Amino acid sequence: MKTVSILNKNNITLADILQSVRRLQAIEKLKLIRILAEELDMDGNVFPFERNKTYCLPTPYNIFGVAEILMNTLENSDTRK
């Protein structure tokens, strides 16, 4: 990876960084995302998640009748206009 010239500045702003990031190739952007995600994971201060804890997230799978309720809601909202 090439050294970015903005790193020599004393006061780097997010706008400066984004301007440089936008010039990166797609594979370099993916590497940057991975590096930042790993740093956040190592930091351990990412709220609200706790390390080694499983979180249950509600999904529409196996919730029968939801599609019909959604369709009725959408149809009713269209007729109100």
Range of the domain at 24: 5-79
User: Which class for 14: exposed (0-12), middle (13-18), buried (19 or more C-beta within 10 A)?
Assistant: exposed
Domain tally, the chain: 1
Tens digits of residue pLDDT in 5-51:
555 557 889 999 999 999 999 999 999 999 998 888 777 676 677 77
pTM to 2 decimals?
0.45
Tens digits of residue pLDDT in 51-63:
788 888 888 787 8
State residue 80's pLDDT score.
61
